[in-house]
Amino acid sequence: MKRTLPFALLLAFGACAIGATPGVHPLTEDEYLRSRELMVPVQGVSRRQLRDTYSAPRGGGRAHLALDIMAKKGTRVLAADDGYVLRIDDNELGGRTLYLSDPSRRFIYYYAHLDKRVYGLEEGQRVKRGQLLATVGTSGNAPKDAPHLHFQLMRMASGKQWWAGTPINPLPYLVTKGDER
Ligand SMILES: [Zn+2]
């Protein structure tokens, strides 16, 4: 045993050194999302004011899988992160919507029930965190007496774009108060 132990240690050390540069490792998804320091995407709303509605039940046995951020109609909707506009779209449930990505295009940020979108916004356009995108509304299936931003974070499916993603609860990552830049 005494003879084999140093050899085993050497093997273990060798295995560690392969494929891992000391002090550098790829960020996990959680580490990456924390490093983005996402902004609460509604002007004047802080993280303390958010309610976790991610797991709330919705029609048809579905879970919500997004956050509803309540605000007066017309309140400014801001980009949660730097990145790109992927898609400007209208749909029955979400109403007026926007799909954006982070700078690495690994994650999708979906904004729904918008009242108005900023004039001149274009697909492919680069945006900065805190940039004005739209205003809060009740478009789609949002109750007319409860304007809010429906905000969803998704991991983009590999090889896919705005239409395919796996939802992730954004609540732990929304750390900065909504403040238009
Ligand atoms: Zn919602």
- In terms of DSSP bridges, do strands 38-39 and 174-176 run parallel, antiparallel, or are they unpaired? parallel
Residue 58 Cα, ligand 1 centroid: separation in angstroms? 9
Residue 94 Cα, ligand 1 centroid: separation in angstroms? 8
**Which two three-digit tokens encode residue 178?**
């909504």
In this prediction the pTM is 0.85
Instruction: Reply yes or no on whether the pLDDT at 97 is more than 70.
Output: yes
pLDDT at 144: 97
In tens, the pLDDT along 15-41 reads 444 455 566 778 999 999 999 999 999
pLDDT over 90, % of the chain: 78
Residue 143 Cα, ligand 1 centroid: separation in angstroms? 10
Residues paired with 150 in a beta bridge = 68, 112
Residues with CB under 5 A from ligand 1 (ion): 66, 68, 150
Q: How far is CA 106 from CA 33, 111, 153, in A?
A: 10, 17, 11
Contact 110, 152 (CB under 8 A): yes
In tens, the pLDDT along 42-70 reads 999 999 999 999 999 988 889 999 999 99
The string of DSSP codes covering 133-178 is EEEEB--TTS-TTS-EEEEEEEEEPTT--TT-EEEE--GGGEEEPP
Residue 112 Cα, ligand 1 centroid: separation in angstroms? 8
Which CATH number is associated with domain 40-176?
2.70.70.10
All structural domains of the chain with their residue ranges: 40-176
Look-up of token digits 């979400």: 94
